[in-house]
Amino acid sequence: MADDIPMDVLSSSGASDASSFCSTGPTTPASSPLFRPSGSDDLAVLTQLAHLRSIESVASEPVKSVCVVGAGYVGGPTAAVLALYHPSITVEVLDRDPRRIQQWQSPHLPVHESGLETVVRTVRDGADMAGDEGLTDPLSVQKRGRNLFFTCDTATIARADIVFMAVNTPTKTFGVGAGCATNMTAFDSAMREVAAHAKPGAIIVEKSTVPGGTAERVRKMLSTYRPGVPFEVLSNPEFLAEGCAIDNLTAPDRVLIGSAGTPSGRRAARTLANLYEAWVPSSKILQTNSWSSELAKLVANAMLAQRISSINSISAICEKTGAEVDQVAHAIGLDARIGPQFLKAGLGFGGSCFRKDIASLAYLAESLGLDDVAHYWRQVNVMNERQRDRFSRKVIDCFERNLVGRKLAILGFAFKKNTGDTRESLAVDVIRQLLEERPAEIAIFDPYCRPEDILREIMSVAPEAVHNEVVKISSDPYLACSQAHAVLVVTDCDQFRNTRPKKKRATTQSVLFPQKSPAWAPAHDLLCHETTLERETWTHDGVSYQLNAQDACSPNCSDCRTTCDRPSVTEQVEWTRIAYNMLEPRWVFDGRGQLDAAELEKLGVRVDTVGRRTA
Ligand SMILES: NC(=O)c1ccc[n+]([C@@H]2O[C@H](COP(=O)([O-])OP(=O)(O)OC[C@H]3O[C@@H](n4cnc5c(N)ncnc54)[C@H](O)[C@@H]3O)[C@@H](O)[C@H]2O)c1
Ligand SMILES: O=c1ccn([C@@H]2O[C@H](COP(=O)(O)OP(=O)(O)O[C@H]3O[C@H](CO)[C@@H](O)[C@H](O)[C@H]3O)[C@@H](O)[C@H]2O)c(=O)[nH]1
């Protein structure tokens, strides 16, 4: 990859590589003025051509091909939904990690999201489709072609009219700004590939969450690498939350598009808006300048996280008084100006976004000389860490500060329910602190996390506990909790509740993927079942789709082994069974405030709930 090539070399080395700039994609007719095959492919010709094509030509042609760089939690689902709503556009997802690409091409998608598998299979493998007549009438059945592809080949960039940048932007861990600034290594490296390969007139879209001012920086980068070649750079931050990604993508609260305020920038923004308008009402598509758009993404996350830290700070007061945090949250949430969302007290916020985006916002404020502003936002992260410390400390105190010889069970490792994502898992800190007290065993169960992901996270904080098998991953919640002196509920999975969760209003997803459809079931249910080879159907927008059978994996497929070894735990656990097999003092620590403590206590266990004084 061009990753290792210095900037000045890369801009000139582009000349020898120019054949890939203008390669003709299979879906792009040679007659397309946007995308001309070139016999004398070299950078000079391209640049000349670009000059001849006025800037007016940027984005003025219909979009035929899209490239999404980064096949992660954002890139994969975004590409799949885009492909679903635009059957005539070829969507190619590029990643430098061949293992990730291979998983997206297989039945074992690297991302667990309800409904994702159905959408991916429809657009990646093609399907039979029919309108109101249904699939039973062979005469009305048509083929829906494949239009989603996954690849490691950077040549795909050259085919794209629009390139979405969806690579990871974690916090920098070294050098200037360590612990706060955004690490732009992956983004910049991907951008260099784009700069080298993108065809003149391409629109480059920032989907990744990036520091304010990045669009401006990218524009400069492009003009250095490809002087005189017209490109447009847009900011189009993603607001999906994990666990409900398909829902959020198919029915977003808003789509934000930031552009340079130039006529060509606004035209590019319109082209992107047109893409979304295939399924998003135009009233929900917002256009701003790039800086506002980039900043709005950081601020949205900071404000959401701030609410969680605020209510968690109140939970600390509740635990020392007679107040109950859920009652307080309910009372204040009824005020229409406050609203009820994001007021659930718990162990704090985890996940790959909130902490790093607040750090990035604070770093921005600091670099602008606004130290008070930086301090204000940093406190949101500080409160968040304290919340976990308080929880671990409470567990240790309940055992009179002696965990030696005790077994603890952890229910849930993902940072929230309905995802297998272990990044910034709240459990890691809790486990690290408990391990300092030298318990005999910590057993972990999570319905969606891969054991290797859990072990990798724990290895990073307590490698010896993994080597000595003090920490064990269990594929069965009852085994994990058997003979445990305490059970800690760390993730808000519905499976861990002891009451039925309240029915939520019908979501887009439940309309797209009705509960009875096999498409709704977790991926591993389908994979381990014969239905893999059956032709499942689903309906969307009045169209019924019949999925093609997936190719069987090779007999030694390691993903098949991992998945099929794990029982599917989609039902709520039986607390009677868990309580029966626990050992005195039989503590249950509810780190998510989602258990009915009174009911649980009837089973003879002692319950401690976040935000309530311990009895
Ligand atoms: N995860 C979320 O819920 C979420 C939601 C909204 C926004 N975001 C933002 O979206 C961005 C992506 O997040 P994610 O969770 O999808 O990350 P991820 O780590 O799941 O995926 C990023 C992918 O980019 C690939 N990549 C890195 N450098 C590359 C390069 N030079 N060329 C090609 N591929 C490259 C990686 O291999 C990886 O597969 C981040 O900026 C994040 O802050 C994430
Ligand atoms: O009332 C609440 C709500 C959430 N959480 C926790 O907060 C974290 C984040 O939850 P959530 O926001 O639902 O998940 P993310 O996938 O991290 O999504 C956030 O981060 C994404 C990445 O930027 C944004 O796109 C989304 O809009 C934003 O919600 C999780 O640990 C939750 O358990 C609480 O403790 N209490």
In a mutational test of the pocket of ligand 2, which residue from 244, 353, 386, 494 has the highest number of ligand atoms less than 8 Å from its CB?
A: 353
Residue range 346-357: mean pLDDT, rounded: 97
The Cα–Cα gap between 553 and 545 comes to 23
**Ligand 2 center to 349 CA (angstroms):** 7
pLDDT in tens, 67-92: 999 999 999 999 999 999 999 999 99
Q: Does the CB atom of residue 349 touch ligand 2 within 6 A? A: yes
Atom of ligand 2 nearest to the CA of 239: 25
The Cα–Cα gap between 209 and 539 comes to 33
Q: Whose CA is closest to atom 30 on ligand 1?
A: 190
Nearest to 342 by CA among 303, 372, 383: 303
Residue range 324-340: mean pLDDT, rounded: 98
Instruction: Give the mean pLDDT of the chain.
Output: 86
Amino acid at 458: I
Atom of ligand 2 nearest to the CA of 492: 33
**Ligand 1 center to 360 CA (angstroms):** 16
Residue range 479-501: mean pLDDT, rounded: 95
- pLDDT at position 494, please? 95
- pLDDT at position 52, please? 40
Residue with tokens 């035209």: 267
Catalytic residue IDs: 353
The per-type count for the chain, helices as H runs and strands as E runs, is 23, 18
Residues 100/168, Cβ–Cβ less than 8 Å:
no
Q: Does the CB atom of residue 154 touch ligand 1 within 6 A? A: no
The Cα–Cα gap between 36 and 27 comes to 13
* Interface ipTM > 0.90: yes
- Pull the structure tokens for residue 612: 């309530």
- pLDDT at position 568, please? 57
Q: What is the dihedral of CA 151, 153, 157, 161, to 10 degrees?
A: -40
**Ligand 2 center to 57 CA (angstroms):** 40
Task: Tell me the three-class secondary structure of 546-580, residue by residue.
Answer: EECCCCCCCCCCHHHHHHHHCCCCCCCCCHHHHHH
Atom of ligand 2 nearest to the CA of 415: 31
Q: Does the CB atom of residue 304 touch ligand 2 within 6 A? A: yes
pTM of the model: 0.87
The Cα–Cα gap between 20 and 463 comes to 45
Cα→Cα distances 556→101, 552, 553, 560, 567, Å: 19, 11, 8, 8, 19
pLDDT in tens, 246-304: 999 999 999 999 999 999 999 999 999 999 999 999 999 999 999 999 999 999 999 99
Q: Whose CA is closest to atom 4 on ligand 2?
A: 342
The Cα–Cα gap between 460 and 129 comes to 48
- Pull the structure tokens for residue 249: 């993508």
- pLDDT at position 519, please? 33
How much of the chain, in percent, has pLDDT values that exceed 90? Answer: 75
Q: Which ligand is closest in space to the CA of residue 415?
A: 2
Distance of CA 148 to the CA centre of its chain: 19
Angle, alpha carbons 444-445-451 (nearest 5°)? 80
**Ligand 1 center to 249 CA (angstroms):** 16
The Cα–Cα gap between 367 and 356 comes to 16
1 has a pLDDT exceeding 60: no
The better pLDDT of the pair 519, 202 is held by: 202
pLDDT in tens, 429-450: 999 999 999 999 999 999 999 9
H/E stretch holding 601 reads: helix 597-601
- Tell me if the bond preceding 340 is cis, omega within 30° of 0: no
Kindly state the DSSP code that residue 133 receives in the 8-state scheme. Answer: T
Q: Whose CA is closest to atom 12 on ligand 1?
A: 168
- Pull the structure tokens for residue 211: 């520091």
Q: Which residues contact 463 (CB under 8 A, 6 or more apart)?
A: none
- pLDDT at position 551, please? 79
The Cα–Cα gap between 501 and 489 comes to 16
Helix (H, G, I), strand (E, B) or coil at 14: coil
516 has a pLDDT exceeding 50: no
Q: Which residues contact 543 (CB under 8 A, 6 or more apart)?
A: 129, 130, 131
